[in-house]
Structure 1
Amino acid sequence: MRRHELTDREWELLAPLIPRAATGRPRVEDRQVINGMVYKIRTGISWRDLPERYRPWKTVYTRFRRYAIDGTFTRALQQIQARADAAGDIDWLVQIDSTIVRAHQHAADTGRKGGCTGDEPDDHALGRSRGGLTTKVHLACDGQGRPLAFLLSPGQRHDSVSARSLLERIRVPRLGLGRPRCRPDHVIADKAYSSRGFRAYLRRRGIAHTIPEKQDQQRHRHNRGRHGGRPPRFDRETYRRRNTVERCFNQLKGFRGLATRYDKTATSYEAAVTLASFLLWARSV
C-alpha cells in the first residue's frame, strides 16, 4: 500500500458496494481505480496528472463521474453509518456548522452546452463573496466528529437558510427492519442559527437544542417586557462540545482536493466530500 491509498480494512468495507459490469471487456481492477480517486482528492492534482500506476486517467475520471451520478459513494457512506448505528456507536449529540471553500479558477469555467442535467444546480453551488468565487459546505456531525450529512450552497448564503435542509439530510438506514433514523437527540449550533423559526422547527420535531441567543435578540426580548417571553434554555457545558464539528472540518480539509474546490460541477465536488467522509468513518469503526 502506497501513501494516500486505501487500506485493506477500508477496501473491505467499500468493495461490496462497487457496481460490477456483467458483460463487456475486462476492466481495470476496481481497487486500483478507487485508489486513483483517493489519491486525486488527497493531493488536489489534476485528473490528467494522475500517476500511471492508476492506469489511464480517463478511466479513473469516467468511473468517478459514474459513481458520483448514480450515488455509489452515498450508499457506501450510509451503509457504514448503519453498521455503526446498529453497534450503538453513533453519538446523536449532533453539531452543525458551515465552512467556506475557495473555488479555484479551474472550477469557475462551468459553461457547458445544453445547460445542467440531473441533480446539478444551475449555479453549481458557486457564489461570489469578498474572497471571490466560493462554495459553502454545511455539515452535521455526530458527537465523535464523524459526518452524518452535508449540503453544498453558494458561498454567500447564510447558515440559517440551509439549517432545515441540512438536518433533513440526516438519514441513517437500519440493517434490519425499521425506518432510517433521521432525528438527532440534541443539536448544538452557534449564534448564526439563532432564530425563532429554527428553534420552533426543532421543537416541532422534538429535538433538544443548545444555541446561544444573539445580543440584538436579547435586547428585543427585554424591551418587550413580559410579552417578550422566556429566554431560550442554554447549557454552557453542552455548548463546549461544539468544537467537535470544527475538528471534523479540519479532518475533511486535510484532503487538499476539498480544502480548495477544483471541480467544475457540484455533483463531482459533493461526491469527493462523500468519499472523504466515508474514509473518516472507516478509520473509526
Structure 2
Amino acid sequence: MVRRHELTNAQWERIAPLLPEVGGPGGRWADHRTVVNGVLYRTRTGIPWRDLPERYGPWQTVYERHRRWSADGTWSKILRALQADADATARDADGSWAVNADSTTCRAHQHAAGAPRRPPADHPQKGAAPVRAEGREALGRSRGGLTCKVHLLADDRCRPLVWLTSPGQRGDSPMFIPLMQALNVARTGTGRPRTRPDRARGDKAYSSRANRSYLRQRHIKATIAEPDDQRANRLRRGRAGGRPPAFDQAQYRLRNTVERCVSKLKQHRAVATRYDKRDYIFHGTLATAAIVIWLRDLTKEPSDTA
C-alpha cells in the first residue's frame, strides 16, 4: 500500500535504475525505496529526522543516506535524468523554449544555524576557496532573522530547472547571469546539453543593463519589465537615453509559471522553512522536492494539494 507522500510504483520504476547499486559491505545500500520514501516524507512534512515514523527504519540511516546523496550528487543526477526524459515536452507548442526567473525567501529555523566552519570530509566543495562570513552556508541576517534565498528558473509547465541559493539579503539581479549560466538540460540521445533557451522572462528586479546585454549576446529574447525609475531616467536623458527595451505584454503574463513553481516547492515544509545547517544538504532537500514535482508531471499523477 502506498502511503501519503510516498512514491507510486510508476514513479519508483523511473528513479530506481538511477540509484546506487543495492548491496555493498554489510548490506549498506539495502532497501532503497523505504529510505527514499522516508526522505520524501521528511521533505514534505518538515519534521525532525529523529521523529520519522518507524516504518522507514532507523532515522540515522535515512538522514545519512540523504546527506551522502546530497554530497555526491545522486539527487541532482536523478533530477537531470528526469529533465532529459522530458526534453521533448519542455518546448512550447510553437517549438520554442522559455525559462522564467524569480526568487523566494525561505525563513531559516534556529536549528539551521551554527554549522561548523570546517566542512566534513565528503563536502562537495571541500578544498574550495573560503566564502565570506556573511555568505557562509547561504544564510543571512535581516529584521526577520536568519533567511536563505532560492533563485530559480522554471519552465512553462511550472517545473524547476535549476536554482542557486544565497543569503536572504542578496539581490535578485546580480544572481540572474549565474543562474542562466547554470542552466543545463541533458539530452537522452546524442547532442550537447541544452543551455540556451529562446526566451527568458523576469520581473522588474532583473531589469539591468548587464542582464539585458548578456541575453542579447546569447541571442535570447528578453521579456523583462522595466522599473519606473529606469524609465524616468531614460526619458530624462532624452535622445541620449536610447530606445526603450522591447517588451511583450502577452509573453510577460506567462511568467506566473515560476511563481506557481515556487508555490509547489513550498508545499514541502522542509523547503518553506530551512532546517538544514549545510547549504549542500539544503540543495539536496530542494532536489528531492523538485524530483517529486517532475515525477508527478511525467507520470500524470494528481497533485497533492492537501
Whole-angstrom CA distance in 2 between matches of 1:62 and 1:88: 35
TM-score (norm 1): 0.95
> Are residues 76 and 133 of structure 1, via their aligned partners in 2, closer, same or farther at CA, if it must alter by over 3 Å?
same
Query: Deviation at 1:115?
Result: 7.8
Q: CA deviation at 1:176?
A: 1.3
Question: Could you say which residue in structure 2 is the equivalent of 1:81?
Answer: 83
1:47 matched to which residue of 2?
Answer: 49
| 2:155 aligned residue | 142
Q: Provide the rounded CA distance (Å) in 2 between the counterparts of 1:211 and 1:80.
A: 29
1:8-87 map, 5 Å: 8-20=9-21, 23-27=24-28, 28-85=30-87, 87=88
> Alpha carbons of 1:114 and 1:241: their partners in 2 closer, same or farther (altered >3 Å)?
closer
- How many pairs align? 284
Q: Specify the alignment match of 1:94 in structure 2.
A: 99
Post-superposition Cα deviations, 1:74-99, rounded to whole Å, max 9, x if no partner, equal 111111111111x3344422110000
CA distance in 2, matches of 1:13, 1:23: 23
Over residues 250-274 of structure 1, what are the superposed CA-to-partner deviations in whole Å (9 max), with x where a residue is unaligned? 1100001111000001111110111
Q: 1:119 aligned to 125, 134, 147, which one?
A: 125
3-state SS of the aligned residue for 1:25? Answer: helix
Distance 1:74 1:80 in 2: 10
- Which has the higher mean CA deviation after the structures are superposed, 4-13 or 30-39? 4-13
- For the pair 1:239 / 2:240, whether they are aligned, the reply is no
> Is the 1:84–1:90 contact (alpha carbons within 8 Å) kept by the matching residues of 2?
no
Question: Structure 2 CA distance, aligned partners of 1:88 and 1:248?
Answer: 17
In structure 1, what residue type is equivalent to 2:109?
H
Structure 2, unpaired ranges of 5+:
299-306
Question: What residue in structure 2 maps to residue 210 of structure 1?
Answer: 223
Partners of 2:287 and 2:225 lie apart in 1 by 30
Measured after TM superposition, the shift of residue 137 of structure 1 is 0.4
| Structure 2 residue matching 1:187: 3-state secondary structure | strand
Distance 1:218 1:112, change over 3 A: closer
State whether structure 2 residue 287 is matched by structure 1 residue 274. yes
Quote the Cα distance in structure 1 between the aligned partners of 2:168 and 2:203. 18
Q: Secondary structure at the match of 2:125?
A: coil
CA 1:195 to 1:54, structure 2 compared with 1: closer, same or farther past 3 Å?
Answer: same
| Whole-angstrom distance in 1 between the partners of 2:112 and 2:186 | 34
Amino acid across the alignment from 1:205: R
Distance 1:88 1:111 in 2: 43
Identity score, percent: 52
Two-structure CA RMSD over aligned residues (Å): 1.6
Matched, 1:159 2:172: yes
Give 3-state SS (helix, strand or coil) of 1:136's partner: strand
1:200 positional shift? 0.2
- For structure 1, the residue ranges without an aligned partner over 5 or more in a row are none
Deviations 1:185-238 (A, max 9, x none): 111100000101110000011100111111111121112111111000111111
Task: Give the ranges of 4+ consecutive aligned residues of structure 1 lying more than 6 Å apart after TM superposition.
Answer: none
Letter in 2 for 1:41: T
